[in-house]
Amino acid sequence: MSRGIRVCYLLAHWLSHRRAGLAYRDCLTRLGVELVEEPTDADVVVIHNEPWSYAGYFRAFPELRDRHVVAYAVWETDVLPAHYRFALGLVDEVWTCSSYCAAVLRDAARSLAIVPHVVEEPVRDERAVSQLRERIGGSEDRFYFYTITSANPRKAVADAVRAFEGLFSPDEASFLIKSTAPLPPELAKVPGVVTLVGMATDAEIAALHHLGHCFVSAHRSEGWGLGLSEAMACGNLVVATGHGGNMDFMDEGNSLLVAYSVEPVHEKERRVQHFLTPEMHWAYVDVADLREKLRLSRASWPELQPVRDRARAAMARFTPEAVAQVLGQRLARKPA
């Protein structure tokens, strides 16, 4: 159905968008879609970037006004910023990755579809795993909690560290924190916390998944949660806030969901990100419950094998072939 359609896929450089966008491009290729470099040569143009950037694309490529333009978008609170609403009105169709995001974006979009992310087990690179083990002074007997985060307050890494602090001896368990920015000193110095700062290659991220046992996320909200889904594809245990786009693939049977309360975004977080406003809400994790779930993860590791098995099985819904079918259905709906 999609053969003969020419698609120009304009892709952001931000790592999480880029990885997801490259996977979508691969799905389109599997469908026999012709990918072209210039919007002038395309029947459909996909903008895979933040909504604030859309107006710039229309200025740079005036021909977009005569094309069917699709935008990929996510948002993590229950209320959209006003300028996002304007940007979404510029395009013909919006793709988003989860039912959570769809509920937020739907009334600002002319047409909207949920296109889940492709999830595959990261390819294990033995050299990268060995290098990571050497870098952290790894031990075969140690249990590794881990997370992939950034300076974004939405990731709530401080809550995760607070829950971990003092729970285990440093010889028993470590908390590996891969972050694009250094942690505040009071978090980095917590016994057992090992920080891995800077951008990472796909092989290095894969090594973290293959060395780690339990992925931890105290997030306020996720549009999807690529780190969570990739950890599950590896058959790892995931302990995470039970709120956001991750609930499209997480449940009580395949992960350890942490209790939370939905509250207005706190003022200190609004000061960090000016897009956030007082009428927006997201989740605040119950740190005591998170701490108990971390304790249980280590204490009952063998007994939790069925949970990990179900986690791996749940990710089979998001193969490239399955996501390609969703994309094919959307392209088939494009007006002639």
CA–CA separation, 3 vs 130, rounded Å? 44
For 188-209, write each residue's pLDDT tens digit. 999 999 999 887 888 999 999 9
Overall pTM surpassing 0.85 (yes/no): yes
Locate CATH 3.40.50.2000 in the chain: 126-317
* Residue 174: φ, ψ to 5°: -125, 160
Residue type, 237: L
Judge whether residue 216 has pLDDT over 70: yes
Judge whether residue 318 has pLDDT over 60: yes
CATH number of the domain located at residue range(s) 6-118+319-332 in this protein: 3.40.50
Judge whether residue 335 has pLDDT over 70: no
CATH number of the domain located at residue range(s) 126-317 in this protein: 3.40.50.2000
For 106-135, write each residue's pLDDT tens digit. 999 999 999 999 999 999 999 999 999 999
- Percent of the chain predicted with pLDDT > 70: 98
Q: What is the pLDDT of residue 330?
A: 92
